[in-house]
Amino acid sequence: MERRAFLNLGGAALGSLLLPPFGRAIAAEDLVKPVDTRFKKMLADTALQAATQAGASYCDVRVGRYLNQFITTRDLNIENVTNTESAGVGVRVIANGAYGFAATNDMTPDGVAGAARQAVAIARANAKLQAEPVQLAPTPGVGEVAWATPFKKDWRLVPIKEKAELLIAGNKAGMEGGASFMQSLLFQVNQQKYFASTDGSYIDQDLHRLWVPFFATAVDKKSGKFRSRSGLSTPVGMGYEYLDGRKEDKFLAAGGVTTLYRNSYDLVEDARAAGKQAKQKLTAKSVQPGKYDLVLSPEHLWLTIHESVGHPTELDRVLGYEANYAGTSFATLDKWQSKKFKYGSDLVNIVADKTTPGSLGAVGYDDEGVKCKRWDIIKDGVLVNYQATRDQAHIIGENQSHGCSYADSWSSVQFQRMPNVSLQAGKKPLTPDQMIKDVKKGIYIVGDGSFSIDQQRYNFQFGGQLYYEIKDGKITQPLEDVAYQANTQEFWNACTALCDERDWRMGGSFFDGKGQPSQVSIVSHGAATTRFNGINVINTARKIG
Amino acid sequence: MKKLNQEDTKRITDKVLSLSKADECTVTIDGGRTGNIRYARNAVSTAGLVENTSLAVSVAFGKQQGTAMINEFDDKSLEKAVRRAEDLARLAPENPEFMPTPSGAAFKASATFSDKTDAIDPEFRAQVAAYSIEACRKNKLVAAGFFTDESAFQAIANSRGVFGHQQRTSVDFTCTVRTEDGRGSGWVRRDASDVSKFDAREAADVAIEKALRSVEAKALEPGRYTVILEPAATADLLAYMFGAFDARSADEGRSFLARKGGGNRLGDKLFDEQVNVWADPWHPDVPVLPWDSQTMLPREKMDLIKGGKIAALQYSPFWAKKQGARAVGQPGNIVMAGGSKSTAELIANTKKGVLVTRTWYIRMVDPQSVLLTGLTRDGTFYIENGKIKHPIKNFRFNESPVTMLNNIDELGRPEILAGDETPLQLLIPAMRVRDFNFTSLSDAV
């Protein structure tokens, strides 16, 4: 996760956010006019030709137009509305066996041809230091194809007033529920990406995503105590219809402790509950540290999956390319080669998938023109595969890429990023309430909170939003000051029960950071409610002077 | 586009201001070039150069505000940016807390620009990478690193007469050196405005030495230890804490600086009396621009902690007006007073303790107490009788910087650095701290 911007926003409540780079701001009427595909193809062909004439053995071109709108609110005030646009062309080549990359916002034939020639020159310079030539897994050209995020309501056509009123209604409900302060945001993204390569692909994609996080804070001035509860929405790869809050998409968490959502989200209802629960947290029982059976809701578990499975199975980390920043991985090639490394218990099946509808990572093709697919990473608890791009596939004995290449802008070079990585639901019928009946001493955790993991992804610590004590098969009372610490392999081997498909849903990250210079990516993680036995829980309450 | 000088930016900002029909207009121009080289597995993986200049126009009609950003500078584009900002402002709901930008602010220039840094070229970057790659190959070690340099400028102006233009430069270098068998890892970070203060060979040697010394780490039981924290180990801990020096959060009761019963803790002694921290945009080692571009207010030299007492809180213009306080520009740097001793001398004065090179993945656990969690990384050692006895496995900590700054034993010589997670420029000392709370072990190397 990008780290500098994270502190700029201030406070733990905004912990998982990063403001995307601002581009050129736009008036609303410009938003929905697409760039002519013939123009994009002409630019791409110009770059491909210039690169090959300059000596490239391979070239790919990304013509990008990125539209964003952010609305930020505080209590009953709209703080800001910002529209941005960024457009340009990125050219990647292989020449003399090495990569070169150059980008320009000069969207003229001369501009993109110049960038292509510059990329070749950089590749030639890099080739002098290259240990071995880049080896790309074959990817057949697909000709001229298009793919678009399926959506029902285009955020670009929803009036700003309507969006602002929804956020303010949420803040008002939170304050009526018991919050002293409310903050809510609406992030909306449209990425228009055109990819072409010397393999013979011309891929036009239109991607839509949005996220509506909020933060409710309750303050007891008398005691000096304050507590927060974040929203339980998930960032999604769909349209504004996610905010419809349809009745059929609502259901109760175990024990009826709160309302949860799948496929659509009721912001006002959740904000009201958050205000009430933030206030409840001020007087909740402080946890007794020790070993507990943890029952983790998907709204919480997605982040543990992201950090302890998603990142360590990135092949570039395994090989050492992230060693100076995000780190390496304990899931080394020898463990995978042994075909018997028990990452988790027999119940643990983890799948990579860039096709799940509504997910953040769902696209038709990745940023190397590879058609997206689904594959196993952990099968019956055993590590069976990684996440790879075209230049990595041969390292793990495969003859095609997994389609894991992504760049956060036309001006950024594409590299290996995580697909949606999800825990499969249990095969036997089991609901969260039934799961809890078997727990003698446990904690039910809903929502994601504080998160930290070491640079090889062994030792982690996670907090949450809502904690409930489980005693002799029943939820008894809210708890506070809870965090759990574990070792990745021990934790996943402590997985003892999974709810079934009826309970499976996704969480996700809108701003997952990696690389130097750092880039952000988007990814969803699905799971059903899952139980982990005998996990170490610490009490995080502290007193300062 | 060529780097704009003061004459260029004054001409552009005057033009933009003259085009606006709004009640208020502010303009910011940011531009320059950033070069970088990235390497891993003892080979260069990427190298790049980004040149860009952007213009941000914010306008306000009453309490309605809109912002447009653009990176084209012909007259037609300037007008387009102004019209778009005005369109957005008319669409935006009123913000009752909107505050106009200041009038007539004067800025005293700071020494943020170095000709030598401005002259860095691809060969220089390649040589920086080559020092550590070649030294690592010789020592059967594996280097991964990133060097980036920036030469940029910023100009600000508003319709109330404010204008400022200043150039700035910076270099940032990090290098991780690992043993081939993956049992040892060392790291170094160096930051400077003036590249003549940066020695790539010296930096690489530090990471190499740490990597070689860190092999065969032994496990030490988690618990409370006396620790020597190198400056890089505390940079982000302190940045998290200073991020909460906001007057409004404190007054509203949702910060560690809130006073029980109401109000804030300005003037309270919360830290050991050795703790003295201030901001100074003109500091020769960590100079920053003399204005805060968000508010267009001048930055000032100001104490943040004096003799362990909270000496200042940050007021936004709105909150300052509401509370009858004075708003100044948000600090761009943090300077903490230290002593004259090197880290080696601090070690020599330590009977039993733990030396921490770096901390990693720090996150807020409880903002009420600024409880942070994170891990040690790339060189953690056990000290006994004034000497490093052996490397130890990494720890997870759960600790508050407030507690840490209360438990200071001795301070070392301050060093310049940037944090992983903060835009602040820092000049902070190594610290020997009592009872630092390590809560579990990590097997990660």
Please check the confidence at residue A78 and state whether its pLDDT lies above 90. no
**Min CA distance, B163 vs chain A (Å)?**
23
Task: Please give the pLDDT value at position A15.
Answer: 32
Instruction: Please answer yes or no on whether B252 and A322 come within 8 Å at the CB atom.
Output: no
**Banded pLDDT at A30 (limits 50, 70, 90):** low
Q: How far is CA A293 from each of CA A439, A485, A541, B414, rounded to the nearest angstrom?
A: 7, 13, 21, 46
Comparing CB atoms, the residue among B41, B50, B253 nearest residue A226 is: B253
What H or E segment, with its residue span, contains residue B290? Answer: none
Q: What is the ipTM of this complex?
A: 0.94
Please check the confidence at residue B227 and state whether its pLDDT lies above 60. yes
Closest residue in A to B378 (Cα–Cα):
A455
Any chain A CB within 8 A of the CB of B219? no
The C-alpha torsion from A36 through A42 and A43 to A44, rounded to 10°, is: 110
Please check the confidence at residue B87 and state whether its pLDDT lies above 90. no
**Banded pLDDT at A5 (limits 50, 70, 90):** very low
Comparing CB atoms, the residue among B41, B48, B423 nearest residue A101 is: B48
Mean local confidence (pLDDT), B284-306: 96
What share of chain A in percent tops pLDDT 90? 84
Please state, in angstroms and rounded to a whole number, the distance separating the CA atoms of residues A323 and A329.
9
Measured between beta carbons, which residues in chain A are less than 8 angstroms from residue B43?
129-131
Instruction: Please answer yes or no on whether A221 and B261 come within 8 Å at the CB atom.
Output: yes
**Banded pLDDT at B81 (limits 50, 70, 90):** confident
**Banded pLDDT at A22 (limits 50, 70, 90):** very low
A32-46, A268-282, A332-346: the lowest-pLDDT one:
A32-46
Please check the confidence at residue A3 and state whether its pLDDT lies above 90. no
**Banded pLDDT at A446 (limits 50, 70, 90):** very high
Mean local confidence (pLDDT), B324-349: 96
Any chain A CB within 8 A of the CB of B323? no
pLDDT tens-digit map of A144-159: 999 999 999 999 999 8
Task: Please give the pLDDT value at position A29.
Answer: 55
pLDDT tens-digit map of A206-218: 999 999 999 999 9
**Min CA distance, A426 vs chain B (Å)?**
31
Please check the confidence at residue B115 and state whether its pLDDT lies above 50. yes
Please state, in angstroms and rounded to a whole number, the distance separating the CA atoms of residues A302 and A68.
25
A70-84, B276-290, B330-344: the lowest-pLDDT one:
A70-84
What does the DSSP 8-state code read for residue A440?
Answer: S
Comparing CB atoms, the residue among A3, A25, A180 nearest residue B420 is: A3
Q: How far is CA B428 from each of CA B285, B411, B415, rounded to the nearest angstrom?
A: 11, 9, 5
Please check the confidence at residue B136 and state whether its pLDDT lies above 90. yes
**Banded pLDDT at B1 (limits 50, 70, 90):** low
Please state, in angstroms and rounded to a whole number, the distance separating the CA atoms of residues B319 and B325.
8
Comparing CB atoms, the residue among A23, A26, A543 nearest residue B84 is: A26
Measured between beta carbons, which residues in chain A are less than 8 angstroms from residue B93?
78, 81, 161, 164
Find the length of chain A: 545
Comparing CB atoms, the residue among A7, A78, A483 nearest residue B421 is: A7
DSSP letter for each residue of B340-393: S--HHHHHHT-SEEEEEEEEEEEEEEETTTTEEEEEEEEEEEEEETTEEEEEB-
Instruction: Please answer yes or no on whether A545 and B270 come within 8 Å at the CB atom.
Output: yes
Work out the burial of residue A440: count CB atoms within 10 Å of its CB; fewer than 13 is exposed, 13-18 middle, 19 or more buried.
exposed
Please check the confidence at residue A7 and state whether its pLDDT lies above 70. no
**Banded pLDDT at A417 (limits 50, 70, 90):** very high
Residue B441 is encoded by which pair of tokens?
């072990």
A4-13, A420-429, B423-432: the lowest-pLDDT one:
A4-13
Mean local confidence (pLDDT), A194-201: 98
Any chain A CB within 8 A of the CB of B71? yes
**Min CA distance, A132 vs chain B (Å)?**
10
A13-17, B54-58, B157-161: the lowest-pLDDT one:
A13-17
pLDDT tens-digit map of A107-142: 899 999 999 999 999 889 888 877 889 999 999 999
Task: Please give the pLDDT value at position A184.
Answer: 97
Task: Please give the pLDDT value at position B105.
Answer: 77
How many residue pairs bridge chain A and chain B with CB atoms within 8 Å of each other?
A: 255
Residue B254 is encoded by which pair of tokens?
């949702």
Instruction: Please answer yes or no on whether A452 and B362 come within 8 Å at the CB atom.
Output: yes
CB contact at 8 A, A265 and A233: yes
Any chain A CB within 8 A of the CB of B261? yes
Task: Please give the pLDDT value at position A4.
Answer: 34
Give the CA count within 13 Å in the CB-facing half-sphere of A264.
Answer: 17
The per-residue pLDDT of chain A, averaged, comes to: 92
Q: How far is CA B149 from each of CA B128, B173, B199, rounded to the nearest angstrom?
A: 11, 9, 14
Mean local confidence (pLDDT), A281-288: 98
The per-residue pLDDT of chain B, averaged, comes to: 94
Measured between beta carbons, which residues in chain A are less than 8 angstroms from residue B444?
327, 330, 454-459
Please state, in angstroms and rounded to a whole number, the distance separating the CA atoms of residues A510 and A231.
14
Instruction: Please answer yes or no on whether B46 and A99 come within 8 Å at the CB atom.
Output: yes
Please state, in angstroms and rounded to a whole number, the distance separating the CA atoms of residues B372 and B364.
5
Please state, in angstroms and rounded to a whole number, the distance separating the CA atoms of residues A277 and A258.
9
CB contact at 8 A, A274 and A179: yes
Please state, in angstroms and rounded to a whole number, the distance separating the CA atoms of residues B421 and B364.
12
Closest residue in B to A86 (Cα–Cα):
B70
Instruction: Please answer yes or no on whether A24 and B47 come within 8 Å at the CB atom.
Output: no
Provide the CA B411 distance to its chain's centre, in angstroms. Answer: 20
Please state, in angstroms and rounded to a whole number, the distance separating the CA atoms of residues A200 and A193.
16
CB contact at 8 A, B217 and B179: no
Residue A399 is encoded by which pair of tokens?
């003859």
Interface of B with A in 326-365 (CB under 8 A): 360-365
Q: Tell me the three state secondary structure of residue B128.
A: helix
**Min CA distance, A11 vs chain B (Å)?**
7
Please check the confidence at residue A2 and state whether its pLDDT lies above 60. no
Better-scored residue on pLDDT, A60 or B422: A60
Q: Which of B51, B123, B443 to mutate to test the interface with A (most CBs of A within 10 A)?
A: B443
Mean local confidence (pLDDT), A166-193: 97
Please state, in angstroms and rounded to a whole number, the distance separating the CA atoms of residues A515 and A325.
7
Q: Is the pTM of this model over 0.80?
A: yes
Question: Which of A503, A506, A502 lies closest to A524, judged by CA?
Answer: A506
